[in-house]
Amino acid sequence: MALTALGSSARAETLPQRSILRNTLPLTILAASSQRVRASTGRPVRQTISGPYPLSLNSLWNRKIGIYGLGRIGKAIGRRLEGFELPINYHNRRPVAGCAYQYYSSLHNLAMAVDTLICAVPGNAATDGSINADILQALGPTGILINIGRSKTVDQDALIFCLENKIISAAGPDVFANESCVSDEMLMLENTSRRPHIAPASVDARGAVANLVIDNLLSWIKTGKTITPIE
């Protein structure tokens, strides 16, 4: 059987994208980033702290959301954020037909208009390095960056600099440059809510992918066609 042909004609990508974990993890990271969950972890309950309370500098209240990449995942994130009654804006290469969210034709203009930027774009030459120092500066000192897309989309050196110097408030990356050896500078930052690249990972999603692989194989054997062809 031509497994190469099968591999080129089918994929199980749609299942992890529909995974509850992948569509809700950005909200989890956003809440953790805004409430400084990492910085407060390990502190005694009701610990006495003198001076201004240093931990929860932000909240989700009245935040303006910007989604960079309104594809299937971006739309799913947007639908869930609607439940928080937050204004949602987005940037794509072109407007999405029938979408009620505010569209911005440039990423810079989107970052200027919001204080929460969620990156869900695919990795390619057009998006690599697109979230750079200028974009982070535009996001501003109350800004939060969430990245569940590709690590190359974000200039990590610029992100570290902006976090260290309070140019933005916090970040929640699920992906990193050189994930096998994340930089010490990134690991030391308390104003991050890092996740180990688990956005598409759940037991249910992985099991569904395995089942779909089997279903595709059986369909290919019986009919010469796959259930989930690449369009």
Write out the catalytic residue numbers. Answer: 150, 179, 197
Q: What does the alpha-carbon distance between residue 206 and residue 140 come to, in Å, rounded to a whole number?
A: 38
H/E element, 65: strand 65-68
Q: What does the alpha-carbon distance between residue 117 and residue 163 come to, in Å, rounded to a whole number?
A: 14
Exposed/middle/buried for residue 216 (C-beta within 10 Å: 0-12, 13-18, 19+): buried
End-to-end CA distance of the chain: 22
Show the tokens assigned to 206.
Answer: 């992985």
Q: DSSP secondary structure string, 90-122?
A: EE-SSPPTT--SEE-SSHHHHHHH-SEEEE-PP
- Note whether 143 and 116 are within 8 A (CB): yes
